[in-house]
């Protein structure tokens, strides 16, 4: 059964909800409970059931809510997925970044595009889903700290596996201008810590400079970057076609005349295939343990090299026959498939067998920038898309 919608009313509700969401300062790493409680209360009043999963301090939280099917027809549920965190803001905004401001055909505010705009649309459409007789469950998945190596989603997905929610179609609403994205590289982030022995710079042979060994480590990473280029798969769909590696920073030392006893290196890699990530970690770990650490311990037995995983975001692989892509194509009329350089939570859902697509309102060109905005027309496009989902999810 298909029901008519009042697009203008839905649009106005979306703007109201988006304004509320922007008002919550959910920068990655900060407490997002207030925003999640807002979403949980909103969906709960519509009859949705839900559960939460937390970080170890219960400071940051994921929400998974469900509007249940009236009659189970064996049709796969749909997961509408979005992250609630945003990147930090600078002082150079021309508007208050945490207050939605409409100028012309754009709505400004941190997270308006990436990706509270999508979350607002799904919440605005939730009352429609709650009123019709659904032939499938509609899930709402809202996570924390996607912007810092997808820290929240793995916790949520472990709970989904425990509850045996391992099938379905997931739409990750990152800003793609409602275009289908069906692949992206992985993103692995690390910090490697060096602990040496401090001393006077006039006696360098009696100390162990953490800065010097960290620099050699960084140089080795740059050498391995060239090896990754040689490993580029034939007919790679990515630009550049090979796995990339970047040293983000080297931090250590306290003075010109003091041998540094501590230093750390921030680095990341974006593998086109998981095997490249395995190769890189194996090579750099061998170098650190068998070459650098041995040299450090000859002078200072308590020297240490410790690599910390900040996050290992799974790549999102192109699938020849994707139910998620086919669903979106049937609603938008666009059969094209594109790849992107940025990472998302899509690969995490894909890993557990859930057919996944990245498709949402707004443009990535506006994400993470000063005066971030979403075009109002994108909100309307997303609402029409959700109306298509409604029509495919209603009992005849």
In this structure, are residues 195 and 262 in contact, taking their beta carbons and an 8 Å threshold? yes
203-218 b/e (C-beta count within 10 Å ≥ 16 → b): eeeebbbbbbbbbbbb
Q: What is the pLDDT of residue 3?
A: 57
Q: Is the pLDDT of residue 180 over 60?
A: yes
Per-residue pLDDT at 27: 98
Tokens 């590289």 appear where?
185
Kind plus residue range of the DSSP H or E element containing 181: strand 181-184
2 belongs to a structural domain = no
- Give pLDDT, residue 70: 86
Q: Are residues 136 and 191 in the same domain?
A: no
In a domain, 92, yes or no: yes
**Chain CA centroid to CA 190, Å:** 16
Residue 31, CB-side half-sphere exposure with 13 Å CA sphere: 6
Domain end among 286, 313, 340: 313
One domain, residues 133 and 32 = yes
- CATH number of the domain at 34, please: 3.40.630.10
Q: Report d(CA 344, CA 352) in Å as an integer.
A: 15
Q: Is the residue at 53 inside a domain?
A: yes
Question: For residue 114, how many other CB atoms are within 10 A of its CB?
Answer: 29
On the question of pLDDT at 35 being above 60, the answer is: yes
Range of the domain at 299: 187-313
In a domain, 169, yes or no: yes
Residues 6+ apart with CB under 8 A from 30: 60, 85
Q: Say how far apart CA 181 and CA 337 lie, in whole Å.
A: 6
Could you read off the pLDDT of 288-307 as tens digits, one per residue?
999 999 999 999 999 999 99
Given a cut of 50, is residue 2 above it in pLDDT? no
Helix 7-23 vs helix 33-44: crossing angle, to nearest 10: 150
Q: Can you tell me whether residue 42 is helix, strand or coil?
A: helix
Tell me: the pLDDT tens digits for 335-357?
999 999 889 999 999 999 999 99
Whether residues 273 and 386 fall in one domain: no
pTM value? 0.90
Secondary structure letter of residue 205 according to DSSP: G
164 and 40 in one domain?
A: yes
Position 275 confidence tier, pLDDT thresholds 50, 70, 90: very high
**Average pLDDT value over all residues in the chain:** 96
How far apart are alpha carbons 265 and 247 in whole angstroms?
Answer: 7
Q: List, for residues 188-219, the tens digit of each pLDDT value.
A: 999 999 999 999 999 999 999 999 999 999 99
Residue 142 near residue 36, CB atoms below 8 Å = yes
Q: Do 303 and 351 fall within a single domain?
A: no
Element spanning 158, H or E:
helix 153-162
Confidence check: pLDDT of 228 > 90: yes
pLDDT of residue 1: 44
Asked, for residue 385, whether it belongs to a domain, the answer is: yes
Which pLDDT band holds residue 313 (cuts at 50, 70, 90)? confident
Q: What is the mean pLDDT of residues 228-256?
A: 96
pLDDT digits (tens, 9 = 90+) for 53-87: 999 999 999 999 999 998 767 899 999 999 999 99
User: Could you report the per-residue pLDDT of 124-159, keeping only the tens digit for each?
Assistant: 999 999 999 999 999 999 999 999 889 999 999 999
Helix axis angle for 33-44 and 116-131, nearest 10°, is 20
Residue 341, pLDDT score: 83
Burial zone of 294 (CB within 10 Å; 0-12 exposed, 13-18 middle, 19+ buried): exposed
What is the CATH classification number for the domain harbouring 236? Answer: 3.30.70.360
| 81-116 per-position pLDDT tens digit | 999 999 999 999 999 999 999 999 999 999 999 999
CA-nearest of 188, 117, 101 to 381 is 117
Residue 354: CA atoms inside 13 Å, Cβ hemisphere, count? 28
């Amino acid at each position: 059964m298909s029901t008519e919608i009042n697009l203008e009313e839905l649009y106005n509700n979306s703007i109201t909800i988006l304004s509320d969401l922007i008002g919550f300062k959910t920068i990655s790493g900060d407490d997002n409970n207030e925003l999640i409680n807002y979403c949980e209360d909103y969906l709960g009043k519509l009859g949705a059931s839900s559960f939460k999963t937390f970080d170890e301090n219960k400071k940051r939280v994921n929400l998974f809510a469900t509007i249940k099917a009236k009659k189970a027809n064996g049709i796969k549920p749909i997961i509408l997925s979005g992250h609630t965190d945003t990147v930090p803001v600078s002082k150079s905004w021309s508007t208050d970044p945490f207050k939605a401001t409409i100028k012309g055909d754009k709505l400004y505010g941190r997270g308006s595009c990436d990706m509270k705009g999508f979350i607002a649309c799904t919440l605005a459409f939730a009352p429609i889903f709650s009123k019709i007789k659904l032939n499938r469950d509609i899930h709402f998945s809202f996570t924390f700290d996607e912007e810092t190596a997808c820290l929240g989603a793995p916790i949520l997905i472990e709970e989904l596996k425990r509850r045996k929610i391992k099938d379905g179609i997931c739409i990750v609403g990152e800003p793609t201008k409602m275009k289908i994205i069906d692949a992206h590289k992985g993103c692995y982030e690390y910090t490697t810590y060096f602990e040496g022995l401090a001393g006077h710079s006039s006696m360098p042979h009696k100390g162990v400079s953490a800065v010097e060994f960290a620099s050699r480590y960084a140089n080795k990473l740059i050498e391995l970057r060239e090896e990754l280029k040689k490993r580029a798969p034939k007919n790679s769909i990515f630009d550049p076609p090979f796995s990339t590696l970047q040293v983000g920073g080297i931090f250590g030392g306290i003075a010109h005349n003091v041998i540094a006893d501590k230093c750390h290196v921030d680095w990341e890699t974006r593998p086109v295939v998981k095997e490249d990530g395995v190769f890189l970690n194996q090579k750099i770990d061998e170098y650190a343990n068998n070459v650098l650490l041995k040299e450090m311990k000859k002078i200072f037995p308590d020297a240490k090299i410790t690599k910390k995983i900040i996050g290992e975001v799974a790549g999102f692989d192109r699938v020849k026959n994707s139910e998620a892509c086919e669903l979106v194509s049937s609603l938008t009329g666009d059969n094209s498939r594109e790849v992107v350089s940025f990472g998302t939570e899509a690969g995490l859902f894909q890993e557990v067998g859930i057919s996944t697509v990245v498709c949402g309102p707004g443009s990535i060109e506006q994400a993470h920038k000063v005066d971030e905005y979403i075009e109002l027309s994108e909100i309307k496009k997303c609402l029409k898309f959700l109306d298509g989902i409604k029509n495919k999810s209603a009992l005849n």
